Amino acid sequence: MKRAISFVSRVITVVMFACMLLLAYLAISSKITGGKPDVFGYEIKTVLSGSMEPTFYTGSIIAIKPVQSGTSYKPGDVITYKLQDGTLVTHRVKEVNAVGEEVMYVTKGDANDAADSEPVAHKNVVGSYKGFTIPYVGYAADYARSKTGSALLLIVPGILLLFHAVINILGALRQIDNKEPADSSR
């Protein structure tokens, strides 16, 4: 039973430490890059609406590959593009219309009944979705980007790890005390 508790304790420690490192990396990365956390060449984006459900849900994070050439997408690809007001949208390409060097994409959210009203110029495409999503983590990632969230998500796990280490040290000291011989005067 003690071995099982010890194993579970170690697993919890590793998971908490990994989560703390991941959230710290995302928070610091987003501050350095101006809100665009980058992991292994992919940008991490938070899904803010349900227009692409069930492909990914509101509050999920998705990985997009930044655009190399905005003219290489085909119907069925999921692209992220910038609207005139700077808002980012991630929808599926339904049609590709090319006129000379200008390529326009007709897009539609998977949960929407109709295609988007405005076609997307290839120069507005910022990247494409590559099939990586983690549901609901976007809520925590957005919170981690705030000042309060950054502090809490870095400090609280650190305090919990410190508390866990103190408990382990005290347990080890008790075991050492119990193993000392009763007669220590020779």
Domain-wise residue ranges, the chain:
33-135, 146-175
Catalytic residue at 184?
no
List the catalytic residue out of 9, 30, 49, 184.
49
> Cis bond leading into 37, ω under 30°?
no
The CATH classification of domain 33-135, taken from the options 3.30.1490.20, 3.30.1370.10, 2.60.120.650, 2.10.109.10 = 2.10.109.10
Distance CA 71, CA 79 (A): 11
pLDDT single digits (tens) 20-31: 777 777 667 666
**Per-residue pLDDT, 162:** 84
Nearest to 94, CA basis, from 78, 117, 70: 78
Distance CA 127, CA 42 (A): 9
CB 129 within 8 A of CB 14: no
Please compute the mean of the pLDDT values over residues 142-147 and round it to a whole number: 74
**Per-residue pLDDT, 179:** 73
pTM, to two decimals: 0.63
